[in-house]
Structure 1
Amino acid sequence: MDFERWKLFLLVSEMGSLSKAAVILNRPQPVISRHINALEAQCGCSLFYRTGRGVALTEVGEAILPRVRAMVEEAAQIMLDIKGQAGVPVGRVSVGLLPSLRIAAEFAAEAARLFPGVELHLTEATGGQLAEQVATGRVDLAFVLREPGTVGPSEEALLRLPLCLAGPAGDGLASRDTVPFRDLAELPLVMAKPPNPLRMLVEHHARRQDVPLRFATQADTLMMQKALVGAGMGWTVTSRMAVRQEVGNGELVAANIADPALELLLVLVRSNQRPATLAIRKIARLLSDLVRRLPDTDGEDAPPAYLPVAA
C-alpha cells in the first residue's frame, strides 16, 4: 500500500479542499488531484465528493477514515521504533519541571542541538502534581521532591536541597544565618496543604520536637506562597532553590533551618506506563547531567541552594 497517498487522503479529508492541501504541501494542485484519483482507482470507488467549495468524504471515505488514521499512525510509530533501535533517538518525550527548577530554556536548547529527532513537550507543576502525572503516564519524566530515605529503586536522586525559613525583605528572624527549628513555633506559616512532601516533613519534625505550628494561609503554588510572604502575610518553609532568585534580588530573606538541619532530595522519576525508548533514556541522561552541574554553575550562592548527593 502507498502510505504517502493514504497520508494525503487524511490531509485532504481534514482540509476539505485539494487546493488547501496543495498549499500546505507546497505542491501543484493537479499533482494532488492525480494522487487522489489514483488512490480511488486502486480502491475501485470514490472516496471524496467534489463540490464547488472543495471536497467531502463519501460514505466509504467516512467509514474507512478511522482505520486509515490508525494505520498511518502505526506505520509512523514502526519507523520511529526502527530508528530508535538503530541508535537514533526519535519520537515524543514529555517532561515535567518544577517551577523552582529554572532549567527549561537551557535544557530545551541542548536537547534540540543533541537530539533533533526528539519532539519535547514540557509542562510545569508542583511536585505532588508531577508525581501523579508520571505515575499515570501523562508525562514520561518528571522531577519530584522526596524525603531522604524514601527514594525508590528506579528513581534517581540528583541533588540535596537545604530547607530555609523565608520572610519578607528586612525581616529580622529570616535575616539570620540560621534559625533553630524550635523558633518556628506559632509563626504564621504560608505553605501548601497536605499531602505535600515539604509540609509533611516540617510537620513530622514538629511532632518529634513538640513544636506547635500555626498555618496562617494554605497556598498550593510556589508563586502564591512567595507573593504572600513578600507582602508580609507570614513566613514559609521552603527549599533554598525555591527562593534563590528572590533572595538574590533582595525581595525576600532566608535563613537555613538548624537543630535539625532539614533538606529534601530532588529526584528524577520515569513513568512505567510506557517503554523506556532510546529518546526517553537520552533525555533522562541529559536532564540528570544538567541538574547535577547546578552546584558548580551556581556556586556563588552563599549559603548554597544545591548540594550534591553523596556517592
Structure 2
Amino acid sequence: MEIYQLRTFVTVAQQGHLTQAAELLHLSQPAVTAQIKALEEEVGMALFERTTGGVMLTRTGQELLPRAQSILESAKDILNHARHLKGQLSGKALIGVSLTPEILKLGAWVARLTEKYPLLDLRLQHGVTGGILNLVRKKELDAGFYLGKNPYVNVNTVLLTELPFVIVMPKGWESRVDITVPKELGKLPWVGISQFSSLHKITAELWRELNISPKKVAECDHVNTILDMVCAGVGLALARADEAQVAADKGLVTIVPGICKLAELQFVYPADRVGDLILDVLLEELAAVWQLGPASPH
C-alpha cells in the first residue's frame, strides 16, 4: 500500500467521480482506476460501487476513509517538520491575481513576504477571477484572489472584504427610460460578460433580482474593458462603485440610483493545503495586511 494510492482513494471519495479525481491528480482516468483496483486487491474488499452519476463509497470504503485521511495528514506533517528542520523557509508559491494591485493590497503583501522570507519564490499570475478559482481547484495555482462565491468543497476561502458594485450607463441614456424603475433597465442593451468572469454570476444574480432579461451586446472578461464599453456607449454594466464614481465625475457615465450589489473578495487555496508551511506564511502576512481577525477559513 502506497501513499499515492491512498491519496487517489481519498480524492475519488471526495469527488465522487473518477474523471474529476483524475483531473485533480493530473493522472489519466485509467491510471486512477488501476490504483483503486490495486488498493482494493490489497485490502481484499471493494471500496467503491458505481452509480449513474459516478462512484460512491461502499461500507468498507466509508470505514477506511478517515484512516486514509489521517495517514495522509501524518505524511504531510512529516514533510513539513523536515522542511522546518532545514531552517529558512524556501519554496515556490504561484498566486493567481485579478482586479488591480491597489484593491488587493498586493504591494504591501508581497513586500512583507519578500522581506521576511527572502528564499520564498513568489510568482504572480494575472487572470480572470473565475479562471483563477478553477486553477486553484485543480491545484495548478497554490492560491489566488477571487471575486464572488466559492462553490467548491475542496477549496478554502478567506473573506477579505465586500466590494460594492453599481449599475452604470452611457451618459445621456438616462433619458431613454425611467431609471428609477428597475425593470425599465431591461429595455436597454447591456455589455455581455464572459462566463469566466466573476461579474458574469454577479450580473446574472442582479438580473434575477430585478426580473429582467436584457439584450447582451459584445462580450468582455476584464473589469476595466467593461467600463470602457459603457463609456463608449455600448450598453449598461455593473462596475465597482469607486471606479464608477470617477467615470461619473468625468461626465462619462451615469450611475443608476438606489441599486448596489456587494461582491465578496476572497483569498482561495486548496483545502488539503491546510497546515502547509508556505501557505501558513501567505495567510499570516495576508491577515496582517488586511487586518483580519483569527476567524477560520470556510
Partner in structure 2 of residue 266 of structure 1: 265
Partner in structure 2 of residue 82 of structure 1: 82
C-alpha deviation, 1:194, in angstroms: 2.9
Aligned partner letter, 1:250: K
- SS in structure 2 at match of 1:154: strand
C-alpha deviation, 1:81, in angstroms: 6.3
Is 1:186 aligned to 2:193, yes or no? no
Change (3 A) 1:184 1:166: same
Partner in structure 2 of residue 280 of structure 1: 279
Instruction: Say whether the 8 Å CA contact 2:164–2:241 is kept in structure 1.
Output: yes
C-alpha deviation, 1:265, in angstroms: 0.6
C-alpha deviation, 1:92, in angstroms: 1.1
C-alpha deviation, 1:100, in angstroms: 3.3
Change (3 A) 1:105 1:158: closer
Where structure 1 has 5 or more consecutive residues not aligned to the other structure, the ranges are: 1-77, 294-311
C-alpha deviation, 1:264, in angstroms: 1.1
- SS in structure 1 at match of 2:141: coil
- Mapped to 2, the partners of 1:289 and 1:254 lie a distance apart of 37
Instruction: Say whether the 8 Å CA contact 1:140–1:270 is kept in structure 2.
Output: yes
Is 1:99 aligned to 2:99, yes or no? yes
CA deviation map 1:199-219 (0-9, x unaligned) = 233323423443232211211
C-alpha deviation, 1:292, in angstroms: 5.1
Change (3 A) 1:97 1:292: farther
- Mapped to 1, the partners of 2:268 and 2:194 lie a distance apart of 23
- Mapped to 2, the partners of 1:157 and 1:151 lie a distance apart of 15
Change (3 A) 1:110 1:137: same
C-alpha deviation, 1:291, in angstroms: 3.9
Instruction: Say whether the 8 Å CA contact 2:94–2:141 is kept in structure 1.
Output: yes
- Mapped to 1, the partners of 2:252 and 2:101 lie a distance apart of 18
Partner in structure 2 of residue 200 of structure 1: 201
Is 1:160 aligned to 2:159, yes or no? no
Tell me which moved more, 261-270 or 207-216. 207-216
Instruction: Say whether the 8 Å CA contact 1:84–1:279 is kept in structure 2.
Output: no
- Mapped to 2, the partners of 1:252 and 1:290 lie a distance apart of 34
TM-score (norm 1): 0.55
TM-score (norm 2): 0.57
Partner in structure 1 of residue 73 of structure 2: none
Change (3 A) 1:114 1:275: same
Aligned partner letter, 2:92: R
C-alpha deviation, 1:94, in angstroms: 1.4
CA deviation map 1:241-280 (0-9, x unaligned) = 6x36954983854636635x42111111112465642222
Tell me which moved more, 216-225 or 244-253. 244-253
CA deviation map 1:159-217 (0-9, x unaligned) = 1111112345x55649xxx9664342222211313364432333234234432322112
Tell me which moved more, 245-254 or 212-221. 245-254
Instruction: Say whether the 8 Å CA contact 1:165–1:235 is kept in structure 2.
Output: yes
- SS in structure 1 at match of 2:187: coil
- Mapped to 2, the partners of 1:288 and 1:249 lie a distance apart of 34
Structure with greater Cα Rg? 1
- SS in structure 1 at match of 2:156: coil
- Mapped to 1, the partners of 2:277 and 2:164 lie a distance apart of 34
Where structure 2 has 5 or more consecutive residues not aligned to the other structure, the ranges are: 1-77, 293-298
Change (3 A) 1:234 1:208: closer
C-alpha root-mean-square deviation of aligned residues, in Å? 3.7
Change (3 A) 1:119 1:201: same
Instruction: Say whether the 8 Å CA contact 2:137–2:152 is kept in structure 1.
Output: no
- SS in structure 2 at match of 1:280: helix
Partner in structure 2 of residue 232 of structure 1: 233
Aligned residue runs from structure 1 range 84-163, under 5 A = 84=84, 88-102=88-102, 103-147=105-149, 154-163=156-165
- Mapped to 2, the partners of 1:284 and 1:157 lie a distance apart of 12
C-alpha deviation, 1:133, in angstroms: 1.1
Change (3 A) 1:104 1:156: closer
Instruction: Say whether the 8 Å CA contact 1:89–1:117 is kept in structure 2.
Output: yes
- SS in structure 2 at match of 1:213: coil
Instruction: Say whether the 8 Å CA contact 1:137–1:272 is kept in structure 2.
Output: no
